[in-house]
Amino acid sequence: MGLIVHHEKVTPENAAQLTKLCPFGAISFDSGKLEITAGCKMCKMCARKGPEGVITYEEEKEAGAVNKDEYRGICVFADSDHGELHKVTFELIGKARELAAVTGHPVYALLIGADTDENAAELLTYGVDKVFVYEHPALADFDVEKYANCFSDFIGKNKPSSILVGATNLGRCLAPRVAARFGAGLTADCTRLEMKDNTDLVQIRPAFGGNIMAQIISPRHRPQFCTVRYKIFNKPEQISDPSGTIEKIAVRPEWLQSRTEILKVEKKPKELDISGADVIVAVGRGLKKTEDLKMVEELAELLGGVVACSRPMVEANIFDSKHQIGLSGKTVKPKLIITLGISGAIQFTAGMNGSECIIAVNSDPGAQIFDVADYGIVGDMYQIVPELIDMLKEGR
């Protein structure tokens, strides 16, 4: 990329205009020659506001850049664990349909596994145009090499422009491996996605500890990969009479080669997953001692919800990380969340600001949490929580 001076169009008059226009004093005119010096900050003011055609801004074409016209469609990887589709898949299909509406591209779903008929049919009910299925008994258990081989075959044959993957344990393992095979970048844990008319996917995610929102694009590479956490986007309504189709691809023996041998699969006991909770009571630094958790737990129990926390509570070893909300914890979207003694730093609010109703309790009237709350109560949680508990018990 660079600024080009078209010397044949330079005159003393327009050179004087340009030297005056540059805010950094980086344009000089000496002995009849117009030059852009090292002081240039590439603001492009001279090209945009200066005399027409004297200085232009041109992008260099990168060697090996792909032809975007060869890539078409937005693909959602259907994340399934032993035959059960993860709900993040449906959320991503809904978002894919919004993005595809900008470019007029189809929406695909890629399903890899065994006994896939029921899941493939369900994917169609969420508005997918075509489900590509790689089915084989050897794909019943997740093996990153086998799945990556099938994924790569799909991309090579169908050339989707963008690929959305859920930020689950499986997705976070598989997506980088496949992206690396195609020399493509991957943006992890996106919180927003937008589509340009030229099919560039704008991948937006917090950066520098959540202090800025970075907008990342891959204008010279395809496909474009990103992962998205559960509960970031909305799940679409199902369609009663889907018009999409299912295509089953024969799995070749060489795709099932792997350096890993799965000897046994043991299911872990089901743990607390705050991501799926409808009601959450979250506590932060306002908690003075561990013993006081009892009143927080009682409030959550009366509301039929779960207890969660902000990062300082995990760092203080009061909570396990599975209870943490935020950029380094879980993203939640409950119907109701009550925050107790949480200041509301962006690292926390980024993980819960999609909640339907946010009630914040904090003794500091200037706390950031009140900026995202639907209802704010300025006061001591040690006075307010017991009163809430009494009101709930009395049915008030």
Instruction: Give the confidence band of 270 by pLDDT, cuts at 50, 70, 90.
Output: confident
Could you tell me which of 181, 185, 186 has the C-alpha nearest to residue 153? 181
Could you tell me which of 310, 365, 368 has the C-alpha nearest to residue 337? 310
Domain count, the chain: 3
CA dihedral 212, 218, 223, 225 (to 10 degrees): -10
Chain mean position to CA 233: 9
- Judge if 82 and 225 occupy the same domain: yes
Mean pLDDT of all residues in the chain?
A: 92
Q: Which residues form the domain of 25?
A: 2-58
pTM value? 0.76
The reply to whether 109 falls in a domain is yes
- Judge if 216 and 317 occupy the same domain: no
pLDDT at 396: 67
- Judge if 219 and 343 occupy the same domain: no
Sheet containing 306-309: order of strands: 306-309, 279-283, 336-340, 358-362, 375-378
- Judge if 110 and 32 occupy the same domain: no
pLDDT at residue 388 is higher than 90: yes
Segment 54-69 mean pLDDT: 76
The reply to whether 263 falls in a domain is no
- Judge if 157 and 189 occupy the same domain: yes
- Judge if 187 and 315 occupy the same domain: no
Chain mean position to CA 100: 17
Please state, in angstroms and rounded to a whole number, the distance separating the CA atoms of residues 388 and 396: 9
What string of DSSP letters covers 94-105?
A: HHHHHHHHHHT-
Q: Are 260 and 143 in contact (CB under 8 A)?
A: yes
Chain mean position to CA 358: 22
The reply to whether 375 falls in a domain is yes
pLDDT at 2: 81
Percent of the chain with pLDDT over 70: 98
pLDDT tens digits, one per residue of 305-320: 999 999 999 999 999 9
- Judge if 280 and 192 occupy the same domain: no
- Judge if 241 and 356 occupy the same domain: no
- Judge if 301 and 241 occupy the same domain: no
- Judge if 39 and 76 occupy the same domain: no
Please state, in angstroms and rounded to a whole number, the distance separating the CA atoms of residues 381 and 387: 10
- Judge if 233 and 361 occupy the same domain: no
Q: Could you say which of 35, 58, 81 is where a domain stops?
A: 58
CATH number at residue 382: 3.40.50.1220
Instruction: Give the confidence band of 347 by pLDDT, cuts at 50, 70, 90.
Output: confident
The reply to whether 145 falls in a domain is yes
Instruction: Give the confidence band of 328 by pLDDT, cuts at 50, 70, 90.
Output: confident
Q: CB within 8 A of 388, min separation 6: which ones?
A: 299
- Judge if 17 and 102 occupy the same domain: no
The reply to whether 172 falls in a domain is yes
| Beta bridge partner(s), residue 347 | none
